[in-house]
């Protein structure tokens, strides 16, 4: 069992957070009903709220972001078509190929080095409209970009991309697992981005501190198709009002804390950015990506573990540290110091 003390030093992900006592109390109070019959009032309240905040017609609660992303694909395109997404995107790398095995799509890489899809590069690989060629089915963008280091999708890039996908008549889906982070970091509304996509997925279990849950928002037509698809995948849930209550609590009380995560991430970056034996990506939100000079990510992670700090090696030469609401100032200072120390001992 993880304790609050454990997660206070755990930088592996912002998913490791534990519900606070007050969040648990809010969960205990939740009104519930059978959500497969659409009768859970707390789930309905959450879905209405997310639809309103994203400016979408409707939304649907999911157990995971992966399932919501998959359903977004299945609801908006058909097997045999192509998925265009970032070469380092979550949908491509961390969802076990469900776009292929379950949605029946093939995947086309688009460079996403800076966290957004390069429109010129996308146009270069875009399949021509010829009946004997495999046709585009959907485009997926990620905001913030996880592996890129929590990078925020520039709105102007999204506008240009959406103009292109609209011309082509292909839906644009946003994997917005951390869209709230982008909104808080730039002091903008969710709709700043969501008005330029057909559907969006947001997670309440990433940094906001709810134990579980993601929401897919889109047009009424998309969400009506998504409902039976969620059931098909085993995601039809019953009395889950307690989980929706945790999500609502997180939005009311934890959203403001994201700014603190961003500040702490900046501070650690500030301490380590000039170290010659590593290259840290300047963070825009709560994810710090550190590239080591040689393939020694495992060594750095082990060094930090010895000092009671958990981080994640996401490639042989890349370490990720993610900032969340259960961390302490002490943990962040210790992380910065320990990274500096590693260089001297290695």
Ligand X SMILES: *Cc1c(COP(=O)(O)O)cnc(C)c1O
- Residue ranges binding ligand X (CB under 6 A): 64-66, 69, 90, 142, 146, 175, 177, 203, 206, 214
Kindly state the smallest distance separating residue 91's Cβ from ligand X, in Å.
7
**Token pair recorded at residue 335:** 């992380």
Residue in the shown chain whose Cβ atom is closest to ligand X? 65
∠ Cα 217 252 33 (to 5°): 60
Kindly state the smallest distance separating residue 142's Cβ from ligand X, in Å.
5
The rounded distance, in Å, linking the Cα atoms of 330 and 39 is: 45
- Phi and psi at 287, nearest 5°, equal -120, 125
Number of helices (H) and strands (E), helices first, in the chain?
A: 16, 11
Q: Which is nearer to ligand X, 217 or 338 (CB)?
A: 217
Going along 166-227, which residue ranges are E strands? 172-176, 199-203, 214-218
Q: Which is nearer to ligand X, 134 or 315 (CB)?
A: 315
**Token pair recorded at residue 22:** 């007050």
3-state secondary structure of 139: strand
Kindly state the smallest distance separating residue 227's Cβ from ligand X, in Å.
19
The rounded distance, in Å, linking the Cα atoms of 227 and 235 is: 9
Q: Which is nearer to ligand X, 213 or 241 (CB)?
A: 213
Kindly state the smallest distance separating residue 150's Cβ from ligand X, in Å.
10
Q: Which is nearer to ligand X, 9 or 62 (CB)?
A: 62
Kindly state the smallest distance separating residue 179's Cβ from ligand X, in Å.
10
Q: Which is nearer to ligand X, 146 or 194 (CB)?
A: 146
Kindly state the smallest distance separating residue 318's Cβ from ligand X, in Å.
15
DSSP 137-185: EEEEEESSBHHHHSBPPPHHHHHHHHHHHHHHT--EEEEETTHHHHHHH
Q: Which residues lie across from 176 on neighbouring strands?
A: 202
Q: Which is nearer to ligand X, 65 or 171 (CB)?
A: 65
């Amino acid at each position: 069992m993880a304790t609050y003390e454990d997660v206070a030093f755990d930088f592996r992900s912002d998913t490791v957070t534990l519900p606070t006592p007050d969040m648990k109390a809010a969960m205990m109070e939740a009104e519930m009903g059978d959500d497969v019959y659409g009768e859970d009032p707390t789930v309905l309240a959450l879905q209405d709220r997310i639809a309103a905040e994203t400016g979408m017609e409707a939304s649907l609660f999911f157990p995971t972001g992966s399932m919501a992303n998959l359903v977004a694909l299945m609801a908006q395109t058909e097997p045999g078509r192509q998925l265009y997404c970032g070469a380092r995107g979550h949908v491509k790398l961390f969802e076990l190929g469900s776009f292929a095995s379950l949605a029946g799509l093939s995947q086309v890489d688009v460079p996403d080095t800076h966290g957004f899809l390069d429109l010129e590069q996308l146009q270069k690989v875009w399949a021509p409209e010829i009946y004997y060629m495999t046709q585009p089915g959907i485009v997926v963008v990620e905001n913030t970009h996880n592996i890129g280091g929590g990078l925020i999708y520039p709105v102007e890039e999204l506008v240009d991309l959406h103009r292109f996908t609209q011309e082509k008549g292909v839906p644009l889906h946003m994997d917005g697992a951390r869209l709230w982070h982008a909104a808080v970091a730039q002091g903008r509304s969710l709709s700043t981005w969501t008005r330029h996509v057909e559907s969006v997925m947001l997670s309440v279990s990433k940094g906001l501190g709810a134990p579980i849950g993601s929401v897919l928002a889109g047009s009424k037509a998309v969400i009506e198709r998504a409902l039976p698809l969620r059931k098909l995948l085993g995601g039809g849930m019953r009395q889950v009002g307690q989980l929706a209550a945790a999500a609502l609590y997180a939005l009311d009380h934890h959203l403001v804390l994201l700014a603190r995560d961003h500040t702490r991430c900046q501070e650690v970056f500030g301490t380590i950015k000039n170290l010659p034996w590593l290259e840290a990506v300047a963070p825009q939100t709560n994810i710090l990506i550190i590239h080591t000079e040689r393939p020694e990510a495992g060594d750095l992670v082990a060094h930090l573990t010895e000092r009671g700090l958990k981080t994640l090696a996401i490639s042989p030469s890349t370490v990720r540290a993610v900032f969340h609401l259960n961390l302490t100032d002490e943990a962040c200072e210790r992380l910065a110091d320990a990274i500096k120390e590693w260089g001297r001992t290695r």
